[in-house]
């Protein structure tokens, strides 16, 4: 054997190296999982969602969401809710009137908002505004 090492010592050293590599890989995997969870909590989930299962729960959840937002985001969320209401109920075209006619206005609004975060609502309304600008 070169350098006086036995086969057993070489095998032991190789096994130790593999175990250390696995432990390092495992630690990296745990770190990646932790980062994914953290990013999901911060951005993916986007915070509390609107519970629009009833008019009362919708109002309470909107107030809860508003309280958790910064002043700037609260203003954007409020503006998005107002604009959404205008987009849904202050239009006079036949398609809008037919759609509104299928639902009570508050039921239609609940259907649209249920399960959405403040960011979802803001993005949805902004996307609709952009489509209107392109027409």
Q: What is the mean pLDDT of each run of 10 residues along the chain (135 residues)?
A: 62 67 64 61 67 93 95 95 84 56 73 94 93 82
Q: Of 71, 80, 74, 86, nearest to 113 (Cα)?
A: 80
Residues 87, 128 contacting (CB under 8 angstroms):
yes
Give the Cα separation of 39 and 103 in Å (integer): 37
pLDDT confidence of residue 133: 85
Give the Cα separation of 74 and 63 in Å (integer): 10
Q: At what angle do helices 105-113 and 94-102 cross, to 10 degrees?
A: 90
Q: Of 83, 95, 88, 91, nearest to 123 (Cα)?
A: 83
Give the Cα separation of 96 and 52 in Å (integer): 22
pLDDT confidence of residue 103: 64
Evaluate if pTM is beyond 0.75: no
pLDDT confidence of residue 1: 47
pLDDT confidence of residue 44: 47
Residue boundaries of the structural domains of the chain: 2-44, 55-134
Please tell me the total number of residues recorded for the chain in this structure. 135
């Amino acid at each position: 054997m070169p350098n006086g090492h036995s086969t057993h010592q070489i095998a032991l050293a190789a096994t130790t190296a593999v175990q250390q590599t696995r432990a390092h890989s495992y630690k990296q995997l745990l770190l990646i999982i932790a980062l994914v969870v953290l990013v999901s909590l911060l951005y993916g989930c986007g915070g509390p969602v609107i519970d629009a299962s009833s008019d009362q729960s919708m109002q309470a959840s909107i107030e809860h969401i508003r309280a958790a937002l910064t002043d700037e985001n609260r203003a954007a969320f409020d503006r998005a809710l107002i604009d959404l209401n205008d987009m849904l109920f202050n239009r006079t075209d036949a398609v809008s009137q037919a759609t509104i006619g299928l639902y009570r206005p508050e039921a239609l609004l609940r259907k649209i908002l249920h399960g959405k975060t403040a960011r979802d609502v803001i993005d949805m309304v902004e996307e609709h505004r952009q489509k209107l600008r392109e027409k």
